[in-house]
Amino acid sequence: MRVIIQRVSEASVTIDTHIKSSIAHGFLILLGITHQDTQEDIDWLTNKIIGLRVFSDENGAMNLSVKDVDGNLLVISQFTLHASTKKGNRPSFLEAAKPDIAIPLYENFVSTLSRKHTKEIFTGEFGADMKVKLLNDGPVTITIDSKNRE
């Protein structure tokens, strides 16, 4: 499981000209799921996200978590995070999980994150053509892969 986390001042996702979700201050999380991912990956990654200290404290140091600042979370499924570009110029997506595996893991990721953050988690729509808009704050962008824990 791979995420790109962007600290945002605001973010939204639009599907067919309709805004599905929007948030103010918090994280936009792009989530890529592979066929090897499990509940263990979800638990580890959601703990990392909730505990990630990248928000400024009273001294301007990045010392606070999204929970500390009562930030919002917007999770967008993104199979392209598992693109392989080793051969040629056309990416291969063989490592990305197929919908029958990815959808339950995505839904479980969102519900696990919600329990740990104790706030509503905003989402896009799995498999939809989404337009994501954000105002990156910092900019702060972090990549985390649950298969690279060391």
pLDDT digits (tens, 9 = 90+) for 123-134: 999 989 999 999
Asked if 48 and 4 count as a contact pair (C-beta separation under 8 A), the reply is no
Asked if 49 and 38 count as a contact pair (C-beta separation under 8 A), the reply is no
- The whole-number average pLDDT for the span 94-120 is 95
Question: What gap in Å lies between CA 45 and CA 99, rounded to an integer?
Answer: 20
- The band of 20, judged by pLDDT with boundaries at 50, 70 and 90, is very high
C-alpha distances (whole Å) from 10 to each of 66, 135, 143 are 14, 5, 19
Report the predicted TM-score, pTM, of the whole model to 2 decimal places: 0.95
User: Is there a catalytic annotation at residue 80?
Assistant: yes
The CATH class given to the 2-145 domain equals alpha beta
Annotated catalytic residue within 38, 80, 112, 143: 80
H or E element that contains 29: strand 26-32
